[in-house]
Amino acid sequence: MTRAETLLWRYLKANRMDGVGIRRQTPIGNYIADFVCFSSKLIIELDGESHDFEERRKKDERRDAFFAAEGFQVLRFTNDQVMTNLEGVVEAIRQASSAGARGSPPSLTLPHKGGGNTTTDQSNSTDKSRGTQP
């Protein structure tokens, strides 16, 4: 596991996300999901720099399409987002898992560190847009 995956896992394991069960490194079909919440049909993927290359992005798209065909929503974050904004990443996961349990679509904006969602701050918009694509 990467440092970001370890950090996120320790947080999720320690705080139990309102009782929602999340597993790590879970095989689904021919793939291994970084994190999965079966009750909410939610997969959480963390991407490092290797995912910045076109070939890797295409593989990610095929993988996400497979997960979607299996009924899962995929949340994708960068390692940097986890390392610099753990609280925001966890809140986005919490919203998506509770929305998934209710059957409604989640908010797709990543909360900013230290506070709620602010739609006027456009800094790091490239990273944020990759963070929670379905």
pLDDT tens-place string over residues 22-49: 999 999 999 999 999 999 999 999 988 7
Residue 77 has pLDDT above 90, yes or no: yes
Burial of 2 (0-12, 13-18, 19+ CB in 10 A): middle
End-to-end alpha-carbon separation of the chain, Å?
23
User: Rounded to 10 degrees, what is the CA torsion of 96, 99, 103, 106?
Assistant: -60
* Span 86-132, pLDDT tens digits: 999 999 999 998 876 555 444 445 555 555 444 334 344 344 444 44
Kindly list the domain boundaries of the chain, sorted by start residue: 3-114+121-131
pTM > 0.75: yes or no? no
- At 86, list the tokens: 């753990």
CATH number of 3-114+121-131: 3.40.960.10
What is the spatial distance between Cα 82 and Cα 69, in angstroms, rounded to a whole number?
27
DSSP string, 19-69: G---EEEEEETTEEEEEEETTTTEEEEEE-GGGGSHHHHHHHHHHHHHHHH
pLDDT classification of 52: cutoffs 50, 70, 90: low
